[in-house]
Amino acid sequence: MIAEKTRLAITGAEAVAHAMRQINPDVVAAYPITPQTPIVENFAKFVADGIVDTEMIPVESEHSAMSAVVGAAAAGARAMTATSANGLALMHEIVYIAASTRLPIVMPVVNRALSGPINIHCDHSDTMAERDSGWIQLFAENAQEAYDLTIIALKLAEHESVLLPVMVNQDGFIISHGVEPVEILPDDVVRNFIGEKKPRYSLLDVENPVTYGPLDLYDYYFEHKRQQVEAMENVFEVFPKVVEEFAEISGRKYNFIEPYRLEDAEHVMVALGSTNGTIKDVVDELRAEGKKVGLLKIWMYRPFPKAEIQRELYGRKTVVVLDRSMSFGAEAPLYAEVKSALYEAPAKPLMGSFIYGLGGREILPEHIRSAFEMAVAGELVVDDQKYLGLRE
C-alpha cells in the first residue's frame, strides 16, 4: 500500500538529513566539509531537538568520524556519517576496514572534486577513488533519489546475505544545495520498512564474545576477501527485492539502471548522477527531431550491474559514455567498465568516451547534444577521449 506522503521544497542535503532522521541511527560521527556540511548540520538540529535518539559526536577529522562509526557498528549500533572529497580521502583506510569487517554502514557522499588544485565543486573523483574498497555505491539523479536511496541503502546494507557498507552519492551543490520538491514518507512507514537492526555479531554481546579486525595473514586473509566477493554477488539477488518493497510503500521504482527512451534507440548515452536529468531533456529534443537516441542511467555503480547493462546495450549502434572523473593514463572509469561489459557482445557498438564537468564545470544541453550528434554522424572513435565544455 502506498503511504500518504508529505511534499517538501528542500535541498538534497536536507532530504538526506530527513532520511537519517527517519532511520534514527544510534550513532552519528561527522566532521564538517563543503558541500556535505548541511546534511550533518540539519541532522544536528534533529538531535538537539530530541527528535531522534542518536548519540552524535562532531569529531576532530573524517578519519576519526569513520573510525567512530566502525566502532559503533561493530558494537551493534546503526551508525552513520556523511562526507565529501578530501574528507572521504582522509577516511580511505577505514573505508576499507568498514567493508572488510562487513559492517553495514550507510554514508551519504556529496560528490566534489578531489583536489588539487583546491576545488570545492562537483565531480566524481572522490567516490571513484573508493570504487575498489568493497562498498556498494549508489548514485542519485536528484534530491528525491538521494532521499529514497538512503533508505533503500540501509535495508540493503543490513540484509544478512549482504552486510556491506553503502555510499549514497549525490552531486555536490547541484543536488545538495538545489531546492526541489521531495516526497517524504511517513516516519512509521520508513521505520517498518527498515525494521530493527539485529546484529549477528556484536561487541556488546558479552555472552558470545567476538573480535573484529584481528591480524589475518596468509592463513585466512585470502578467504575473507573471497567472502567479500560473495557478498557483492548477493547484492544482485537482494537489491531487486528491496527496491520492490520500496516501490510498494512509495510508488517509486528503482533498479540497478534506468533505461530512458531506449526501446528502439540506436545511440545510447550512459551516465551517473544529476547530469542524467539534463540528458533526458536532450533525448526528448532529439527524439522530437526524429533521432533514435536514448539514455541508460546507472543507479548502482558497485557492484557493477554488468548483466543489466549488457541486456540494454546489446544491439545498439553507438554507446556514448559520460564520465565526471578521469583515470589519468587509462580509460575513464565508467567508460572502461561499460566497454568491458560489451566484450561479449555479438556485434560490438561503436563507443565514445566523454569527460565533462570536472571541478564543477557547467554541463549544458548543447554539450550533450554535440556528443549525441557525433554518435549519430558516426564520428566516434573508440578510446579517443573527448572533453565537453573544456577550453583547448
Partner 1 sequence: MKTAKLIEYLRVDRMPTVWCPGCGNGIIMKATVDAIDRLGLSKSEVAIVSGIGCSSRVTGYLDFNTLHTLHGRAIAFATGVKLARPDMTVIVMGGDGDMLAIGGNHFIHACRRNLNLTVIVFNNSIYGMTGGQYSPTTPTYAMASTAPYGSIEKPFDVVDLATSSGATYVARSTVYHYELTVKFIKAAIEHKGMAVVDVITNCHTYFGRYNKIPDPSEMLEQFKEKSIPLSKAEELSENELKDRIIIGEFRKVESPDFQELYKQLQEKARGEDGYKA
**Site of interaction with partner 1 (CB under 8 A):** 31-34, 37-38, 40-41, 44-45, 48-49, 58, 60-62, 86, 90, 115, 118
Which is nearer to partner 1, 87 or 352 (by Cβ)? Answer: 87
Rounded to whole angstroms, the Cα distance separating 206 from 101 reads 19
Which is nearer to partner 1, 8 or 59 (by Cβ)? Answer: 59
Which is nearer to partner 1, 41 or 285 (by Cβ)? Answer: 41
Integer CA distances (angstroms), 306 to 70, 158, 159, 300, 303, in order: 30, 23, 22, 10, 9
Which is nearer to partner 1, 34 or 144 (by Cβ)? Answer: 34
CB of 36 to partner 1, least distance (A): 9
Q: What is the DSSP string of 102-140?
A: T---EEEEEE----SS---S--SHHHHTTTTSS-EEEE-
Rounded to whole angstroms, the Cα distance separating 364 from 131 reads 27
CB of 236 to partner 1, least distance (A): 38
Classify residue 243 by burial, with Cβ atoms within 10 Å: 0-12, 13-18, 19+.
buried
CB of 322 to partner 1, least distance (A): 29
Nearest residue to 11 via CA among 31, 41, 32? 41
Which is nearer to partner 1, 43 or 139 (by Cβ)? Answer: 43
- Copy the grid coordinates of residue 282: 536532450
Which is nearer to partner 1, 40 or 295 (by Cβ)? Answer: 40
N-to-C CA span, the chain: 54
Which is nearer to partner 1, 102 or 112 (by Cβ)? Answer: 112
| 3-state SS, residue 390 | coil
3-state secondary structure 17-62: HHHHHHHCCCEEEECCCCCCHHHHHHHHHHHHCCCCCCEEEECCCH
**Residues 260, 295 contacting (CB under 8 angstroms):** yes
CB of 357 to partner 1, least distance (A): 23
Which is nearer to partner 1, 87 or 165 (by Cβ)? Answer: 87
Which is nearer to partner 1, 64 or 202 (by Cβ)? Answer: 64
CB of 86 to partner 1, least distance (A): 6
Sheet holding 55-58, edge to edge: 55-58, 27-30, 79-80, 106-111, 166-171, 136-139, 300-302
CB of 61 to partner 1, least distance (A): 4
CB of 216 to partner 1, least distance (A): 28
Nearest residue to 371 via CA among 383, 382, 360, 379? 379
C-alpha angle 329-271-95 in degrees, rounded to nearest 5: 65
Strand (E) or helix (H) holding 159: none
| 3-state SS, residue 286 | helix
Nearest residue to 169 via CA among 333, 352, 385, 341? 333
CB of 114 to partner 1, least distance (A): 11
CB of 342 to partner 1, least distance (A): 39
**Residues 29, 79 contacting (CB under 8 angstroms):** yes
Which is nearer to partner 1, 9 or 48 (by Cβ)? Answer: 48
Which is nearer to partner 1, 116 or 214 (by Cβ)? Answer: 116
CB of 176 to partner 1, least distance (A): 13
Q: How many Å is the maximal CA-CA distance in the chain? A: 69
CB of 95 to partner 1, least distance (A): 17
